[in-house]
């Protein structure tokens, strides 16, 4: 280090490198708690950490990493000791619960360190499927009809058409979604709702199940966000006895045939006119929820061309395995350049913050 206290180094041309701290949550190698349907474990290895590190190094950044199991005074002291120009936030949960990811971003806010990704409010809001749907509907954006069910309270599905899909209201990464989540009758829906209530201890969302392709829209930017790429999943490889959904097993169990059957194809194989409408809707949804730097909007596209927004992932997986390299290639760029663009957004916010502070001091 050059002794300036925050881990900066000088590059070969004498220019100071920006210092970025990659912060990630340390996963516990175990199934979801109390969930008999999670018969496999999520691998502890986080491949995106190494991919992001290599990309940022290639981009000329000085990199440090910090894994979190919990937040305490030692963690805060460590971050302040490193004193990065920005934090690349790869925290998807804390204490093995997705609902705490917003608090990690909140910590960075309190420490006044610019970080990548969406702010705490957006992270918390996007995790609540019901609240997200209400905001999107208020903005005139299409979402499947749904009913919120609360434990020990009566509910009616009279206004919904079958089949139904039942989801926990505030889980991430397809947690609580399995082959049993799509049902045809109100009685089956009631049983699945009871399962969600008792297993996940939270309300369940019953939605009309939309048949068709799953569409993934990856968006970059803040002031003028743009669509990086659109992918589609047609479920043509899905086993006949499985519903066409991205279940928890399909998303995470690489040994399952469901994993291959739900791999997205880039670029999306859809009509150009429909794609244009999807892009506009996705960008509006991104802005309505206050997303920043990057996010993924998931949709369903019916055969008749009508589409519905399922949810907005304000903190999506950005690993190579998740397809970000394919998205980048589709957009005529590279994975490393996309990662560096995300980092640059945070360091730019750092520069603007410094300029504002200097302007305030000069006025005083």
The SS3 of residue 259 is helix
Average pLDDT (221-228) is: 94
Q: In what order do the strands lie in the sheet with 307-313?
A: 226-233, 213-221, 293-301, 307-313
> How many alpha carbons fall within 13 Å on the CB side of residue 250?
22
Q: How far apart are CA 317 and CA 292, in angstroms?
A: 15
Q: What percent of the chain has pLDDT over 70?
A: 87
In a domain, 91, yes or no: yes
Average pLDDT (45-57) is: 89
Q: Are residues 191 and 276 in the same domain?
A: no
Q: Are residues 150 and 107 in the same domain?
A: no
In a domain, 347, yes or no: no
In a domain, 127, yes or no: no
Residue 74: predicted pLDDT: 95
> How many alpha carbons fall within 13 Å on the CB side of residue 3?
0
Q: How far apart are CA 209 and CA 248, in angstroms?
A: 17
**Range with the poorest average pLDDT among 304-313, 320-329, 355-364:** 355-364
| pLDDT class of 362 with cuts at 50, 70, 90 | very low
Q: Are residues 241 and 307 in the same domain?
A: yes
DSSP β-ladder status, 19-25 and 86-90: parallel
Residue 8: predicted pLDDT: 53
Mean of pLDDT over the chain: 89
Q: Indicate which CATH number applies to the domain containing 282.
A: 3.30.470.20
pLDDT at 49 over 60: yes
The SS3 of residue 301 is strand
Residue 330: predicted pLDDT: 95
pLDDT at 88 over 50: yes
Average pLDDT (90-98) is: 88
| Phi-psi map region of 212: left, alpha, beta (phi>0 left; psi -120 to 50 alpha) | left
Q: What percent of the chain has pLDDT over 90?
A: 78
In a domain, 129, yes or no: no
Q: Are residues 192 and 297 in the same domain?
A: no
- Could you give the number of structural domains in the chain? 3
Cα angle 284, 290, 293 (rounded to 5 degrees) comes to 95
Q: Are residues 222 and 313 in the same domain?
A: yes
Residue 35: predicted pLDDT: 55
In a domain, 353, yes or no: no
Q: Are residues 154 and 217 in the same domain?
A: no
- Whole domain around residue 70: which residue ranges? 19-117
Contact 187, 275 (CB under 8 A): no
Q: Indicate which CATH number applies to the domain containing 183.
A: 3.30.1490.20
Q: Please tell me what DSSP assigns to residue 172.
A: S
Contact 167, 129 (CB under 8 A): yes
In a domain, 173, yes or no: yes
Q: Hey, what are 340's tokens?
A: 């560096």
pLDDT at 361 over 70: no
The pLDDT tens digits of the residues spanning 147-179 come to 999 999 999 999 999 999 999 999 988 999 999
Cα angle 34, 38, 42 (rounded to 5 degrees) comes to 110
Q: Are residues 112 and 199 in the same domain?
A: no
Other Cβ atoms less than 10 A from the Cβ of 302: the count is 12
Q: Are residues 161 and 233 in the same domain?
A: no
Residue 223: predicted pLDDT: 87
Q: Are residues 71 and 111 in the same domain?
A: yes
Q: Are residues 204 and 264 in the same domain?
A: no
Q: How far apart are CA 362 and CA 48, in angstroms?
A: 42
Q: Are residues 185 and 236 in the same domain?
A: no
Other Cβ atoms less than 10 A from the Cβ of 61: the count is 24
Residue 45: predicted pLDDT: 53
In a domain, 362, yes or no: no
Q: Hey, what are 313's tokens?
A: 């992932």
Q: Hey, what are 146's tokens?
A: 């749904």
Contact 60, 11 (CB under 8 A): yes
Q: How far apart are CA 27 and CA 41, in angstroms?
A: 11
Average pLDDT (313-337) is: 94
Q: Are residues 68 and 95 in the same domain?
A: yes
The pLDDT tens digits of the residues spanning 110-143 come to 999 999 999 999 999 999 999 999 999 999 999 9
Q: How far apart are CA 114 and CA 112, in angstroms?
A: 6
Residue 97: predicted pLDDT: 84
Average pLDDT (224-235) is: 97
Average pLDDT (32-58) is: 71
> What is the pTM (predicted TM-score) of this model?
0.89
């Amino acid at each position: 280090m050059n002794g300036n206290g925050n881990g900066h180094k000088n590059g070969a041309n004498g220019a100071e490198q920006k210092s970025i701290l990659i912060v990630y949550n340390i996963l516990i190698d175990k199934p979801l708690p109390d969930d008999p349907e999670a018969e496999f474990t999520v691998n502890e290895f986080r491949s995106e950490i190494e991919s992001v590190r290599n990309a940022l190094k290639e981009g000329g950044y000085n990199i440090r990493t910090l894994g979190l199991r919990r937040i305490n005074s030692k963690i805060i002291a460590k971050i302040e000791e490193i004193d990065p120009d920005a934090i690349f936030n790869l925290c998807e949960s804390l204490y093995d619960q997705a609902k705490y990811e917003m608090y990690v971003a909140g910590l960075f806010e309190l420490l006044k360190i610019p970080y990548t990704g969406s702010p705490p409010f957006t992270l918390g809001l996007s995790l609540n499927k019901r609240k997200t749907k209400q905001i999107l509907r208020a903005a005139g954006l299409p979402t499947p009809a749904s009913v919120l069910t609360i434990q020990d309270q009566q509910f009616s599905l009279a206004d919904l058409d079958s089949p139904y899909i039942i989801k926990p209201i505030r889980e991430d990464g397809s947690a609580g979604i399995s082959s049993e989540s799509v049902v045809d009758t109100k009685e089956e829906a009631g049983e699945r709702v009871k399962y969600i209530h008792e297993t996940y201890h939270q309300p369940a969302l019953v939605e009309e199940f939309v048949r068709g392709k799953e569409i993934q829209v990856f968006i970059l930017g803040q002031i003028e966000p743009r669509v990086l790429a659109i992918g589609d999943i047609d479920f043509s490889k899905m086993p006949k006895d499985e519903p066409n959904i991205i279940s928890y097993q399909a998303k995470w169990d690489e040994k399952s045939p469901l994993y291959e059957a739900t791999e997205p194809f880039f670029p999306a194989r859809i009509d150009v006119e429909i794609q244009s409408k999807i892009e506009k809707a996705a960008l509006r949804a991104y802005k309505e929820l206050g997303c920043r730097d990057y996010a993924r909007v998931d949709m369903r596209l019916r055969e008749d061309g009508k589409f519905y927004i399922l949810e907005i992932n304000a903190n999506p997986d950005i690993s190579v395995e998740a397809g970000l390299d394919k998205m980048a290639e589709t957009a005529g760029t590279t994975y490393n350049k996309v990662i560096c663009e995300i980092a640059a957004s945070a360091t730019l916010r750092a520069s603007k913050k410094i300029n504002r502070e200097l302007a305030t001091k000069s006025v005083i």
